[in-house]
């Protein structure tokens, strides 16, 4: 039919908005590999879109101590607060908890012969890193993230 919008309807996800302090519905971000390659550096693409891992102690945020919010490099979703960052000694930025459970999702990861839990951005499915049960109190979790998958917004 002429004039009828036939663009695909993207799924909606609930994302916690740091500015308003409440969850809100947002469209899921879906792009082709070519679109992601054009938007990201080669290292960001390798890590965030192809599930890579940066070499320990080389990422720009592993020893970074500014106050603010770590966001997804692909879509800008708020992921971790600097107040929840701790020195794990692993060589990757580590956090005790995400900004909100709505903003990430996890999935089993058995790649490389290991049993791990992968952490992904809930809005765009970017690979962020892994979560382990050997973290700091109070929750005992260590969200071990790749700097290449993160951007930082200062307070």
Q: Name the residue among 50, 74, 77, 47 with its Cα closest to residue 59.
A: 47
Catalytic residue of the set 72, 74, 121, 144: 144
For residues 98 and 143, the answer to whether their CB atoms sit within 8 Å is: yes
At residue 136, the pLDDT reads 78
**Active-site annotation holds for 124:** no
Strands 116-121 and 127-132, bridge-based pairing = antiparallel
| DSSP secondary structure of 84-130 | GEE--SSSS-EESS-S-GGGEEEEEE-GGG--EEEEEETTT--EEEE
Instruction: Tell me which CATH code domain 12-154 carries.
Output: 2.170.150.20
Q: Check: pTM over 0.85? Answer yes or no.
A: yes
At residue 124, the pLDDT reads 97
88-131 pLDDT tens trace: 999 999 999 999 999 999 999 988 788 899 999 999 999 999 99
Domain boundaries, the chain: 12-154
Which is more confident, 21 or 7? 21
Q: Would you give the end-to-end CA distance of the chain in angstroms?
A: 50
Strands 78-81 and 68-72, bridge-based pairing = antiparallel
């Amino acid at each position: 039919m002429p004039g009828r919008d036939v663009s695909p309807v993207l799924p909606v996800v609930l994302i916690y908005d740091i500015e308003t302090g409440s969850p809100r519905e947002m469209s899921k971000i879906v792009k082709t590999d070519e679109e992601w390659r054009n938007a990201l550096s080669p290292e960001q693409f390798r890590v965030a879109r192809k599930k890579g891992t940066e070499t320990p102690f080389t990422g720009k945020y592993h020893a970074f101590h500014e106050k603010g919010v770590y966001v997804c490099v692909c879509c800008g979703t708020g992921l971790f607060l600097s107040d929840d960052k701790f020195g794990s000694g692993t060589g990757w930025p580590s956090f005790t908890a995400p900004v909100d459970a709505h903003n990430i999702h996890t999935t089993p990861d058995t790649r490389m012969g290991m049993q791990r839990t992968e952490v992904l951005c809930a809005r765009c499915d970017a690979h962020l890193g892994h979560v382990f049960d050997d973290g700091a109190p109070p929750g005992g979790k260590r969200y071990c993230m790749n700097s290449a998958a993160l951007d930082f917004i200062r307070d």
